[in-house]
Amino acid sequence: MATLEMLKEANQKLNICDDLSVEKNKNLVIIYCPPKVGSTTIVSSIRMSAYNKFTVLHIHDELMLKVLCKIENVTVKEIIIYNQSLGKNVYVIDIYRSPIEQKISKYFEKLATYHFNNSPHLINNYNVNNVITRFNSLFPHLINEDHYKNAYQIPLPALFDFHNNYIIQTIDGVKYIKLRLKDSDQWGQILTAILGSQILIINDYETENKPIKEMFKKFKDFYKIPENLLKTIEEDPLLQYYYSAEERNDYLNMWRSKQSQNFEPFTETEYAFYEKITNENQYMFEVQRTHYLDEGCTCKACDIKRNGIMTRIQQGEKVTEKIVHEQAKMEYLKDKAKNLRVITSGPIQRHSKNQQKLRSTFGGSMMKTGPNGINIKLHN
């Protein structure tokens, strides 16, 4: 069990501030879910729409805490409970994604750096049948997790709320929320109602926009699921819980229309050998340094860029430009320099004052974002 000092230190490393006189410190949203379920879109959407009202933390598990922030012997659940005990409004969000699509997305996330150990641009030229065969071999070993059911340590309602298309439970003062990716067109409305602040949904970090997108498109066009693998999905208890009978029927019929002959995937022994060889051969390791459209920095430069991007999005423009602190700072300084006017009668004094003003914009504490969006505070 984590001590009070360990929890305080964890908050500091995660850039969770405890000064409740600031609104965004009073409201903590923790996107605590498995990877590849659409969570990055929610992170960026809340940050872009209400960055001054909510602190947003995105995490998958304790391994992520250990690797990215050097936080050990502290669980995600302990961090949740601790922050609620400080008097904060804590929201914890998980997402359910349909099982076959989640497996495909997991597979493509590591297709270049792990499964084929080559650059995305070269893999785009591979024979798509080889990529499909590898996926089918791995199919049962690409595990679909459910944090709401297994990691949150809370009771699961007997039935999913198919009227509102989400679950919300308040347990020990914490609001636990379960969304479905299939309802992403309703997320703005749902999150606005739950959080009490207007949330505009901004699609972010989609495979269609990554370097591997050409192979991904070919895969989607040509993939037909083997009959025996589809059978395992028909019996999936999570699909039976999160989809109504009609939704399951529609989903399975869609895949039945793309069905192929049986395929024998890797056995447990074969998969263990595959992992061993793949790990030994791997020489590329992907570190996602600009994972989100909005990294969450609240400095003046990032704020200006955020407002500009939000205006463009509200006008219907599709924006893929990211808000990364260092880039936003350079753009801000460049724009500021264009507007500076040096007074002839006192150029040295005026220039000095302007320089001091620029430096003060980025003084105090700044945000630096590590891999996968864990924000770490740096002090000048």
* Alpha helices by DSSP H, the chain: 4-13, 23-26, 39-50, 62-69, 76-85, 99-109, 120-123, 128-138, 147-150, 187-195, 213-222, 227-234, 237-242, 245-256, 268-281, 300-314, 325-339, 347-361
pLDDT score of 211: 85
Q: Indicate the number of domains in the chain.
A: 2
Angle at 179 (CA atoms; ends 195, 376), nearest 5 degrees: 65
Q: Write down which residue in 251, 286, 321 finishes a domain.
A: 286
Q: Write down which residue in 286, 315, 339 finishes a domain.
A: 286
Residue 375 lies in a domain: no
Q: Write down which residue in 286, 320, 353 finishes a domain.
A: 286
Binned at pLDDT 50, 70 and 90, residue 205 comes out as low
pLDDT score of 223: 98
- Lookup: tokens for 93: 């969000």
pLDDT tens digits, residue range 296-319? 666 777 777 777 766 676 666 676
Q: Are residues 234 and 316 in the same domain?
A: no
Range of the domain at 313: 300-370
Residue 380 lies in a domain: no
Residue 291 lies in a domain: no
Binned at pLDDT 50, 70 and 90, residue 347 comes out as low
Question: Mean pLDDT over all residues of the chain?
Answer: 85
pLDDT score of 375: 43
Per-residue pLDDT at 281 exceeds 70: yes
- Residues ≥6 apart with Cβ < 8 Å to 366: 297, 299, 325, 377, 378, 379, 380
